[in-house]
Each structure stands twice: as C-alpha cells, then as structure tokens.
Chains A and B, each alone.
Chain A
Amino acid sequence: MMTKEHHGYLDMDLLRFTTAGSVDDGKSTLIGRLLYDSRAIFDDQMEAVEQASSKRGNGDVDLSLLTDGLRAEREQGITIDVAYRYFATPKRKFIIADTPGHIQYTRNMVTGASTANLAIILVDARKGIQEQTNRHAFIASLLGIPHVVFCINKMDLVDYDEAVFQKIKSDLEDFSSKLEARDLNFIPISALKGDNVVHRSTKMDWYQGSTLMYLLENIHIAGDLNHIDRRLPVQHVIRPMTDEWHDFRGFAGQISGGIFRKGETVQVLPSGFQSTIKSIHIGEHEVEEAFAPQSIVVTLNDEIDISRGDMLVSPNNLPQSSQDIDVMLCWLNDRPLQPNGKYTVKHTTREARCMVKEVTYKMDINSLRRYEEDRTIGMNDIGRVLLRTTVPLHFDNYARNRHTGSLILIDEATNETVAAGMIV
C-alpha cells in the first residue's frame, strides 16, 4: 500500500523555525501540540514522559519533558540549551530550534535564530507585550529571520475577546516599526485548548486568518534565499589524480548566493583573475546550473590558483572587500570581549585573525536603547563593534545575505566560539 508520505516526499520542502519563551508562556505546550497533532510524538516517548511526570509528582503530563533532553534540564525544569525537534506534514518537513527565553540565554536564542526561516514569538494574552517579547522580536530582526509569527496565546483565559487581541496586535506593530522586521503575522491561539494551532477555533469567529499550522505549511519561503548575488566560497579543492580524472581540478563549496551557470564568467577573490565555468557537478551528476544552498563542485576553463577561503563571484556584482569590518556582535562567552583583543575570525570558508578596534555602542535589547557610556561586552550582550582583520574579507551586508554577511570569533587561548557577528 502506498501512503501519501511516500508519494508526496519529492515535493516537500524544509522550513526551519525557532521558538523562544519562558517557563510559563505555554511554549512547551504549543510545541507538544504541534508534535502530537502531527503524530511526531511516538507512543514510547509519550509513555516515558508520562512515567517521568508522575515520578516528579506532576498531575498533568509535562510535555516540556519531551524537549528538555539533558538531565540538568529535567531536574531544574528549564531549557538551557537549543533543542532541535523534527516533524513533518505531507507538505513540509519542519525543524524546530527550541530555545530558552530568559535574557541569560540570549546566546542560545541567537544560535537557534541563525538558521531559522521563521520565528514564533508567544505573547500571553493576559499580560500583553512584556520585556521578553521585545527581546525576542529584536533578536529575530537582528538575525534576519524573514518571517515572524506572534502567537497571542491563552486566549481562553481572556474569553476569546477580539479587543484584547487587537490591542496587543497594534502594540506589537508599533514596536516592530522600530525593527527591520519583514513579514509579520498575528494569530490568536490557545495552545492548551488547541484553538487555531492545528485546528481552527470555534470560539473566535471574528478571526479570519489562518491557523498556525496552515501558516507554517504554506508560508512562501523560496524567496528567503539570495538568488541574485553570485557567491561561492571555496571550501575544498577536489583533485582525484586518477587515470580517469587525470587533470580534474574542481572547487567544492556550498553556494551562498546567486545562480551559477555553465559557460558564465566568474571572478576569483582575492586574486581578481577571471575565467568561465567549464562544468558544475553535484556528486556524479553534471548540471547546467546551480543555486543556493546547493553544495557543488565547479571546474573552470583556465588554470588559476584557487584554494580554500577564496570566493568565486560574478565580475559584475562584487561583494565588498575590506579589512575593516563593522559588525553587530552577540557575545557568547563568560569571558568578556577584550578591548584591543585579538581573535580568530571565521567568515564563510575564510579564516583570519582580527583585532577589536572599537566598541561603538552597546545595545539594551529590552528597550532598544544604545549605550555609549558603558561599552563592556560580556556574556549575552549585543554591541556594535569595529574589527580590523589581517587579510581582507569578501562580504555582503548581513541583511542582504546571511551567509556572506555573518562571522564568528574564536578565542585563541580556549578555542571556544565567543561571538557571533552580523556585518552591518
């Protein structure tokens, strides 16, 4: 017997979304409901959760036990790290980056947000906009998440009142006008009762929009990627050196932007040499064209010296090249940023060293105010910073391309990833 999953799988695409929230805002209940109603929770998982819940003396089944995977998290009843959860409907596969919402876990939210197409931000209908709502919206905007869905939750506790929803919606729109938010959506839900999560609510006739699941399944994400600026950071040089592939020299990488076509001219950075594309390979197959985020191998018609860290681009559409990099930096480590400190910087496939030249300002991510007096950047802080790198980086603004516009800093003593940067 053939199932729909089998027939449909060639047509499914992938949506990555992030959820941030605190203990009481119903985030776990919401995720539990999405997973349960899409049959992504299995009987043995449910059984384990029921057992663990009763061991802890909880009356109700605690769905957060499904997502809180580490012993410390279960013991303390909190999410301390990013947990990835998976579910699929016949239309889409979903990856949830489930992150804690408290300010001390900003770094985890930033991590979860970095790869997300969409952010779900929960707002308690009884409380309206809270400090953490602003924080989550700001992080979604800073990390360039293309779609934001505000779920006004616990509508059952405000008698499914439209006025409550409209007031919160308009407050959120006011606040969001200060952010570079792109696609905003508002849905009145009750995660606990299931209203407008997977099934349409019968209690809110005044709401004509879609349910959360419908939106997740249908929101247009093909436009989230950059198909304009041709960028291929060279990751690895493929040289088989076999009889069959004697002279083969291919440049492997994952396309960060634009479309690469056989025969077209590319320029190599930093050398500036140009050549034309001889062939494009994906595994054993040769293709005529390729686009982000495909992992490909390109061969060129001229012999040019190219190695890891170089970038193939369109000669008519060059990225910026500079040793002076202006970034919004989110600090991820308990050892604060050292003024004039030196770090390793990883940008696309390129690695360099850099020095922190200046902290321009620090951001209060609750009020969105900029502090120019206090410029210490510690764990979970976000600030605007000028870096000077040992070699030029070839980059685009983060807002234009999340892959050529992002970087990480590594502490050279501990080897830890200490900061995430979005190039301004």
Chain B
Amino acid sequence: MHSYRLTHLKELESESMHILREVASQFDNPALLFSGGKDSILCFHLARKAFFPAKVPFPLLHVDTGHNFSETIEFRDKLVEKYGAKLMVGSVQKSIDEGKVQEETGFHASRNKLQINTLLEAIESNKIDCAIGGARRDEEKARAKERVFSHRDEFGQWDPKNQRAELWNLYNGRKRPGEHFRAFPISNWTEMDVWQYILLENIEIPNIYFSHEREVFERDGVLYANSPFMHLKPTEKPFMKRVRFRTIGDMSCTGAVDSPASTLEEIIAEVASTRTTERGSRMDDKRSEAAMEDRKKEGYF
C-alpha cells in the first residue's frame, strides 16, 4: 500500500515552491537576491522547480561588495549562462565612488553594512516590488521573528513590532506605492536541511564550500582568507591551511573553518557534529547582541 507521506525535505520543498509562486503571482516586478552562496543557489533551484517548464519569471539581483571570492563570481556567471537567467548587479564600489556611502576604515572595516544603501538603491532604480532572499529563521534570533512575506516601508525599513500576522499558507503582499516586500521562501529550512537537500538533488555549489588549500590568517580566533581587501595587523602572519567556508559572504567578514570535508557527505557529517552556529564565523553579527536586528530595520536582508 502506498503511504501518502512526505519526507521533511519534500515538505519544505513544496512549501518553498508555493511561496515562490505566490511571489510571482502577487508582485509585478520581483527579483531574487543572489549572492552566490548556497542559500541563494537553493532558492534559484526551487524557483526553477516551481515554474518548470517555464523559465524562472524573475531576474537575479547581486549586491556586489567588490570584495568577493572570485570563485563565487565565476559560479554566478556560469549559472546565469546555463539557465539563461537575467542578472542585475548593484555595486557597493559604485555607491562609494559616488559618495553615497563611506568606506569603513581600520582593521575591522567591512562593506557589509554599506550593502544596505546599494541594495535599497537597486530596488528603487529597478522598481523591484519584492526582493526574494535566502534568509533562514534558524540563522539568527532576529530572523526567527521575520515573516515569510515581510513588509518594508517607503524607506525600506522593517518594523519588527508591527509585522503583519501570517497564517496557514495565506500570504498578504498588499502594499502602497513606494513600499516593497522581502520574501523568504526558505524561512523554515535549517543549515542541515539545506545540505541534505543539496545532496539529495545534486545541486552544484561553488567549490570553496569544500576543503581546499588556502592562504589564511587568524584574527580573534577566526580564520580569514588572506586577500588584498584585508589589512593585516603586524602580528598577523598568513599561512597555508586546508579550510572550507561554511557560509559565503563578503571576503572581509566571512571566516573559514579548519576542515578536511571535501564531499557533501563529509560536510553533512561535519555539520551534524559541529558545536557552533553557521554565523558564528561571521564578524558582522558579532558587533552587538542586536546587530542583525538593527541592520535589518534599516533595510539589510
């Protein structure tokens, strides 16, 4: 006898496809925020599933800090070509050159916060009414409270205390002119779910997620990739090590993990036994207890 039961991965997949189809139906001009990280790759994969055999009906938007891993950019361009997707790029460097934001200085300088301005500008200039993001509620405590359809006012701000109720699988994307939405189709996925699903569906991801030899240096107990974007203190000496990245963000704020995991199976085993969160290696979240909430209110995704 057939058992009409879905595994947790298939149930999550179905929920995400439903959300992506709601976005396409309720908004005129959505775009998928694409960083080249595994979560945005997953969102794109789910979008392909949701609309197959039609093409994904929205473009990808990459907010480019200029401090990327070259592997991520190569991966992005290959993916865009393979699936004939449309890519839009918002450049933080351009925002800096135009004097709209100021580069942070010092050893801990990061372009992470500067992204907010570039993102909001890209949303406004491209008239995007819904930016789809790969944020997950298990990543961070402020994200745990965010709706799947998350309203932004005309300044792009999030008001966590005044969020719309969200019940069943009914999503309310109504807004006034000038306002926009963020939609988070993989809200209910955990880091483990993402890895298991990548293995299950055989999804391609950038090779820096797997263990590789790289020049790194250590700062505050975290390993960072050595690059022209990093200013090393005199005491910080770069050295070669086998590492991989657990998350991929801007090079200046993404820490590497000391890991021999070179297959998806090994990554899954590593994630299962690890005792720190994924964002534990993200310098941007360590700034204060409410760092993420504060950035999100301003328009960070």
Chain A positions within 8 Å of B, measured between CB atoms, are: 1-3, 5-6, 9-14, 42-45, 48, 52, 66-72, 74, 80-86, 88, 92-93, 95, 107, 110-111, 114-115, 222, 225, 227, 235-236, 238-242, 244-245, 248, 250, 252-254, 259, 281-284, 291, 293-295, 297, 308, 332, 344, 346, 349, 402-403, 406-408, 410, 415-417, 420
Question: Taking CB as reference atom, which chain A residue is nearest B171?
Answer: A346
B7 touches A13 (CB 8 A): yes
Q: Which residues of chain B in 145-189 are interfacial with respect to chain A, using CB atoms and an 8 Å cutoff?
A: 145, 160-161, 163-170, 172, 174-176, 187-188
Question: Taking CB as reference atom, which chain A residue is nearest B137?
Answer: A84
**Contact partner of A295 among B8, B9, B21, B141, CB < 8 A?**
B21
Question: Taking CB as reference atom, which chain A residue is nearest B279?
Answer: A44
Interchain residue pairs with CB less than 8 A apart (12)? A9-B7, A44-B280, A69-B143, A93-B8, A235-B21, A236-B51, A240-B54, A245-B54, A283-B49, A293-B14, A293-B15, A417-B164
A81 touches B145 (CB 8 A): yes
**Chain A residues, Cβ within 8 Å of B103:** none
Query: A235-B22, A236-B21, A238-B53 are known contacts. Are A92 and B8 too (CB-CB below 8 A)?
Result: yes
Report how far A67 CA is from B7 CA in the complex, Å.
Answer: 26
**Chain A residues, Cβ within 8 Å of B142:** 69-70
**Contact partner of B11 among A52, A74, A293, A402, CB < 8 A?**
A293
B287 interfacial contact with A, CB 8 Å: no
Report how far A70 CA is from B265 CA in the complex, Å.
Answer: 35
B192 interfacial contact with A, CB 8 Å: yes
**Contact partner of A240 among B21, B53, B275, B276, CB < 8 A?**
B53
B55 interfacial contact with A, CB 8 Å: yes
Query: A93-B8, A417-B164 are known contacts. Are A6 and B54 too (CB-CB below 8 A)?
Result: no
Give min CB distance, A261 to chain B, whole Å.
11
Chain B positions within 8 Å of A, measured between CB atoms, are: 3-15, 17-18, 21-22, 24-25, 48-55, 137-138, 140-145, 160-161, 163-170, 172, 174-176, 187-188, 190, 192-193, 196, 200, 265, 268-269, 272-277, 280, 289-290, 293
**Chain B residues, Cβ within 8 Å of A93:** 8, 190, 193
- In the complex, besides A48-B289, A93-B193, 15 extra interface pairs with C-beta distance below 8 angstroms are A2-B269, A11-B7, A14-B6, A81-B161, A84-B144, A84-B188, A86-B190, A222-B3, A254-B18, A281-B52, A293-B14, A295-B50, A297-B52, A346-B172, A349-B25
Give min CB distance, B202 to chain A, whole Å.
12
Give min CB distance, B166 to chain A, whole Å.
7
A222 touches B5 (CB 8 A): yes
**Chain B residues, Cβ within 8 Å of A250:** 53
B272 touches A3 (CB 8 A): yes
Looking at chain A's contact residues, the main secondary structure is mixed
**Chain A residues, Cβ within 8 Å of B193:** 93
**Chain A residues, Cβ within 8 Å of B163:** 81
B280 touches A42 (CB 8 A): yes
**Chain B residues, Cβ within 8 Å of A42:** 274-277, 280
B21 touches A6 (CB 8 A): no
Query: A70-B160, A295-B17, A415-B172 are known contacts. Are A259 and B49 too (CB-CB below 8 A)?
Result: no
Report how far A222 CA is from B49 CA in the complex, Å.
Answer: 25
B167 touches A236 (CB 8 A): no
